[in-house]
Structure 1
Amino acid sequence: MDGEILQLSGPAGAVIVAHRPESSTTSLVATYARGFGHDPADTPGVAHLHEHLYLATLRSVMTAPIVAHAQTHADTMKISATVLTEASSDLVAALTTASQLLAAGRIDDDVRLRECRAIDVELSEWFGNPLLVTGHKLAALATQRHQLARFDECRIGGSSAITAQDLRAHAARHEAIYPERLVIVGSRPAEEWLPVADTLRAPSFAPDPTTNAPAEEPATPRSDLSGSDTRVYVGIPLQPGTPGNAEAAQLAAQILLHERGPLAEVGKRVGARFRGGSVVPGAGRVVVTGSWLVEDARQREAIGIAMSQHSGQAAPALIATQAAALPERRSAAVTNPATLAATVDAWQSGYGIDPTATSTPCADMIDRCVRTGWNQAVLVGAKPARSGPF
């Protein structure tokens, strides 16, 4: 990759700059510590609505053409945006302005209700997908954030009950105003972004403390979630510990979901078909979710027994195959600033690939990551006595 990656320390987070001299655009990924798991108990869905309104506000304050999207996860909200290089400073300024406008409560009711309707459409699609809903619940179990399991309580039409005051209280929290991580990829040298580390998080206003949302309830594990009659679901948290070990965690996730991986072996052992799954990112970890298609109660119980008896060990050949594909994936990650920004941010968050690395994680590290996560697996839909961490 051309250029270099520098991490600039800031008062509340980090600014990561990937200098690509030949780039004609500037891309950024801002990560805020405000996801579904941070929703107050009395306003489930407020983080999702904040995400929608943040993106709408960002677009309204930008005068230059911008390609942007936002997404909320278990613990974080991410804003990704790309502009032509000459508008890069305006983009960072707009990022700060959007947060301040929301925290100050300057929210147009028509825009709020419009985004509520958009969320209702999303939720109607989500609740038609049991695997996706259960994936969110499993992420709550694995990260021990019970609030995330409440996300399904933001039912169709429920988002319109979130008031402008609720949004202001949510947006005025420090973690919702200033990003904990900002990744910038563009042609400007890294040193030109040095002031960002200081100024981006220096508030030009003081949020009214009376608008703060109620204190969050203490995080407690949940294991009372029922599964589908025809499926058993699993959630496996992989915590790499450091960004340098993030590649090992990602390879471990792919191995767990592989058709010849440990989860598929469990299915073969009891005669239940492994249907694959997905990867749910969290703060400093990744949760692998998957499911088996079962025929009766006997198979559901057998899945729990097989999971507890299996070591989680992956075939060495499977690990080697996944590791061998890393160079191609790194090459694909630097094809344009937007994908590079997302890759760098994912790696720094602890669940992606390092686009600058020249070596691959050792097999022992990948295998250890699989086994450690396996021991912390959570089952939903198996015999109740075997649901929860083993």
Structure 2
Amino acid sequence: MRAVDLIQKKRDGLELSKAEIEWLINGYVAGDVPDYQMSAFAMAIYFQGMTTREISDLTMAMVATGEQIDLSAIAGIKVDKHSTGGVGDKVTLILAPLVASFDVPVAKMSGRGLGHTGGTLDKLESIKGYQIEIEQEQFIKQVQDIGVSVIGQSDKLVKADKLLYALRDVTATVDTIPLIASSVMSKKIAAGADAILLDVTVGEGAFMKNIEDARQLAQTMVELGKAVGRKTVAVLTDMSQPVGTSIGNRLEILEALDILQGKGREDVTHFICELAQIMLGLANIEKSIDEVRQHLENGAALQKFEEMVAAQGGDLDDLYRPVNVAYQVDILAEQSGTISALPALEFGLFAMKLGAGRAVKTDKLDYESGIVFAKKVGQSIKENEKIATIFSNIKISDEMLSEFQKNVKIEDVVVKTKEILEIVS
């Protein structure tokens, strides 16, 4: 075979065989297929797409390029969760220990943030001492002992995805369903869980801008999971505004702690309880939303989170400290009305400028900086009432304040919000 022939075949909209896909992926990982040819192949996929069978073959070819974690030593149905990314998304910080508090093992590998989207690992690393890189044996033992662990993805898993994702990032081929689906599911399959919940975010702060594309991606990933014997459910969730009240690593840890103590906003608390109910269902445990919520209110979920932090070297005294920044600036409403929009993308980018996110992978994070919203979409507000507070170690210029204000939409309208838009199973 020759790479150029396979690129041409896909460019012309033809279907590749399993053997052809495996040859191309194996050749790329081995260094026999150069970056420029794989870039051309990714662009051909971007324009021509792939059949479900091709995506499945691509996913499994990628899985085979690295180790696969064997979680069979952990008793019970192991569950995992993945989000396609968003702004203020601290869901894993609450959901993993909440599900584990019902004696369902959660063995999770998470990622870092890039651009306007935040990463779970970055948030956990804002806790002094927290170790995201632990040996596989320790990872398995921790889940056996306390029921939950959240670590970084091993470099030994899905080598093809690591290479291909870096290439897609610089060739404008990130946002295409076959490559997103194969990237996500190859890592989830290799990570070894028995059941997977996929949080497919929709809206201007997500990869999928409209519900039709999000639904197609969700269905594709659910089919991939089921094809290899993993119980898989996807939820389409709203990412038109930030999740919860906080954007920023340390600030999101503090918000997660509030929710884990039953003191969070009702909308985000209910949303996380709904996700937990679905994950528990994947492990054949049926609980009502009220029964799930009890584990936030009685401290069971918080205890699991603290156990996880301590087991991975985190300092529990540091866990609860407030943020430490040079500047705190309140943003006040310029008129009365209802908050009609808080564009997730714009505020994610604003937080990135403060140092809470990375423009490129080598950027150093300011864990303390970010935004806390006092009001969210659908809430009424009066002139001069606080909308949000900016936490920063850089001086906030008048230009930045103006930018923040113009992205807050206040109108005389009634706005209803909904976190879970659809469930795909």
Please give the TM-score of this superposition, normalised by the length of structure 2: 0.26
Please give the TM-score of this superposition, normalised by the length of structure 1: 0.27
